[in-house]
Chain A
Amino acid sequence: MYRRESLEIRIEKARQRRTSMFRLTLRRMMRNRNAVLGLGIVTTVSLLAIAAPIIAPKEDSSFQRFRLLPSPTQQDLSNTQERGVIFSLIGNTYSYVRVLVSGESGDVDISKGLDSEHLLGTDHLGRDILSRIVWGAQISLLVGVVSQAIACLIGVPLGAISGYYGGKIDHLVMRLADIMFSFPFLLFAIVMVAVLGDTCVGRAWGGLLLVFLVLGVIGWAPKARLVRASVLSIKEEEYVEAARAMGASNTRIIVSHILPNCLSPIIVHTSLAMASAILVEAALSFFGLGVSPPTVTWGSMLASARQYMRTAPHMFMAPGLAITITVFGFNLLGDGLRDAIDPRLKK
């Protein structure tokens, strides 16, 4: 009788103990208020982006709705031409410049403030700002996710190979990474987008593909370094030697024994790097580079709001806040993840 009972107790204990790493991390994160806030922001923005076609009924993404507009004033035209010159100097924003110069789009503020029909008001062309923010969320998140996916795809294998094999390969990869690090991130992105903007890659998907590629290619270096550092310590672990003694090949050891163990720094870094990718994309769009109209991005919304800053502050408040909140959310999430995955880092 006694044996039976103790067996049942042990089964029950075993069941309760069976908590996975994932659940453990999640539980720890839920105890961290900032992390929960970050997760909440990121989830909300993601849901908005996914549901854009449903919840942004006022406009669609390729908005071209004209309204009866008053003819542009002299002041506005001169503004426009000035900008046109600046942009041609930078290089590749013909379409954007054309829209501005042709004048039919007005450049005259018919924006309205907040009302019941337009929760965040309308912009200088009478477009619903809330709808455009929601559509812009799609682009921002896409840029964050896809560019980081590309960065991981390049950086993780390079870092793993570099750390595992060492020697000449290691030297080569790390010096390449050093070169990447020696460029200012934003400047490098601007130059690359400007130079490649007129190629067929640059025009694909309204410039979106180019932004993905540029941000992805720039982003590989920190990931490679991070992975290399973890691989260097993990490859000395006894279980790696045990796997080798089991007859596992190098590829197998890297893919199934080492990489899963350096997943946590990659996850943390990726969530933080998404924030900076989103920021850089916004900056590119603000300069009129990268994703070209009519695709809505938060950066280009900011750019067009710039000239109406005094008269219609709501026009730049909305995209500006959207960028700030989203980036803030990703940063909180990344910090929270780091604390949750490696609780030793916390005091």
Chain B
Amino acid sequence: MSEPILEVQNLRTYFFTEEGVVRAVDGVSLDLRRGETLGLVGESGCGKSVTSLSIMRLIPDPPGKIVGGKIIYKGENLLEKDEEYMRHIRGNEIAMIFQDPMTSLNPVFRVGDQIAEAIQLHQGVGRKEALRRAVEMMKLVRIPLAEQRAREYPHQFSGGMRQRIMIAMALSCNPEILIADEPSTALDVTIQAQILEIMKTLQRERGMSILLITHDLGVIAEMSDRVAVMYAGVIVEYADVKSLFKQPLHPYTRGLLTSIPSLATRSKRLNVIEGTVPSLIDPPPGCRFHPRCPRAMPICSREKPELKEVGENHSVACFLY
């Protein structure tokens, strides 16, 4: 395995609201290696998106604030850099695609112009050249009749096509890292497969790293090399994709995997994880999962489990191991 291109160390992002401090991300550590795909899974509201926005330094401040940790990209701590530097990083070095392709494109601009704007912003080329490259990018993400469609507006595109545009825009400046925040969630399954396929192909061609954020374990199994499972602002299990699916260790991960409906073991009821996601303003003491955990022990409510290595490329934060 190659060296990490992005390291997140003990990241803590809090939101200071009137009801109290929301500890959306509370001590997350990740590393993303060159050319690999790291999956970040978890329920809604567990801090996946906040983690990705923190990496881009796009947390709205106020109320949000990154209160601790390091984000090391190519040896530089991004949290110490000024806005000017971050603008150069965003789009150019680390690009991002968002969940909802229906709202991530500006409705008043032609899509070609929107892609071209990103290119102009970072590559210092003229308008004409940028437009030419935009059309090229659209061909790359397999949009038919790219020259024509570049002159159309977002409302004339379907969801899948718009997500392709978003990918074209994100990749137009040849970024090292692509952060994909639920890139296929808003699309139906066949389109989803197409989009993931395009991302995979382009990753192979360009050797970029992908941080894939999703709640869909199927997508993770399909795309990722390694997986981090997040629960209530912390990472509970961190493993390569094969060992995670073969041998999930953390009770939460097990719960996630068994709650997927499967044809092979057709039971009357789906498995559910009892209870709901805890409030991040006042998280349970000790292990944050213990109120819902089927195998909770007395120690779980007293002490916070650390992420520890239990096998090759497999760490888990649980007192069972």
B55-94 interface with A by 8 A CB criterion: 56, 58, 86-92
* Chain A contacts for B106, CB-based, 8 A: 239, 243, 257, 260-261
Q: Is A179 an interface residue (CB 8 A)?
A: no
Question: Once the chains are docked, how many angstroms separate the CA of A241 from the CA of B229?
Answer: 26
Residues of chain B contacted by A252 (CB below 8 angstroms): 121
Q: How many of chain A's residues have a CB under 8 angstroms from any CB in B?
A: 26
Q: Is A17 an interface residue (CB 8 A)?
A: yes
Considering the complex, which residues of chain A in the window 204-254 have a beta carbon less than 8 Å from any beta carbon of chain B? 237-239, 241-249, 252
Q: Which of B56, B100, B106 has the most chain A CB atoms inside 10 A of its CB?
A: B106
Is the beta-carbon distance between A17 and B156 smaller than 8 angstroms? Answer: yes
Asked whether any CB of chain B lies closer than 8 Å to the CB of A306, the reply is no
* A11 beta carbon closer than 8 Å to chain B: yes
- Are B98 and A238 in contact, CB atoms less than 8 angstroms apart? yes
Knowing A10-B145, A18-B151, say if A245 contacts B108 (CB, 8 Å).
no
Task: Give Cα A256 to B105, complex, Å.
Answer: 13
Partner of B108 from A11, A18, A21, A243 at Cβ < 8 Å:
A21
On whether the beta carbons of B100 and A238 are closer than 8 Å, the reply is yes
List the count of A-B residue pairs having beta carbons below 8 Å apart: 78
Known: A14-B148, A246-B169. 5 other contacts (CB 8 A): A242-B105, A243-B106, A244-B58, A245-B95, A246-B118
Chain A to chain B contacts (Cβ below 8 Å), 11 pairs:
A10-B145, A239-B105, A242-B166, A242-B169, A244-B90, A245-B91, A246-B90, A246-B118, A248-B121, A249-B87, A252-B121
Nearest chain A CB to B152's CB is how many angstroms away?
6
Contact string against B for A residues 1-31, beta-carbon threshold 8 Å, 1 for contact and 0 otherwise? 0000000001100110110110000000000
Q: Which residue of A lies closest to B149 (CB)?
A: A14
Tell me if A14 and B90 are in contact (CB < 8 A). no
The answer to whether A245 touches B96, judged by C-beta atoms less than 8 angstroms apart, is yes
The answer to whether A238 and B103 touch across the interface, beta carbons within 8 angstroms, is yes
A239 touches B87 (CB 8 A): no
- Tell me the bound Cα distance from A76 to B66 in angstroms: 81
CB within 8 A of B87: which of A14, A247, A261?
A247
A261 touches B108 (CB 8 A): yes
Q: Is B142 among interface residues, defined by CB-CB distance under 8 A?
A: no
Q: Does A242 contact B98, Cβ atoms closer than 8 Å? A: yes
Kindly provide the distance from the CB of B88 to the nearest chain A CB, expressed in whole angstroms: 7
Beta-carbon contact of A246 and B91 below 8 Å: yes
Q: Considering the chains assembled together, what is the distance between the CA atoms of A238 and B153 in angstroms?
A: 16
A253-273 vs B, Cβ < 8 Å mask (1 yes, 0 no) = 000110011010000000000
Name the contact of A245 in the complex, choosing from B56, B107, B145, B152 (C-beta under 8 A): B56
Q: Contact at A17–B152, with CB atoms within 8 Å? A: yes
Taking CB atoms, residues of chain A closer than 8 Å to B259 are none
Asked if B139 is at the interface (CB within 8 A of a chain A CB), the reply is: no
Q: Which residue of A lies closest to B90 (CB)?
A: A247
List residues of chain A with CB within 8 A of the CB of B169: 242, 246
Complex formed: what's the CA distance from A239 to B101 in Å?
9
Contact flags B118-136 to A (C-beta < 8 A → 1, else 0): 1001100000000000000
The complex places the Cα of A180 from the Cα of B103 at a distance, in Å, of 36
Alpha-carbon separation in the docked complex, A257 to B108 (Å): 8
For B100, the chain A residues whose CB sits under 8 A away are 238
B residues 280-317 touching A (CB-CB < 8 Å)? none
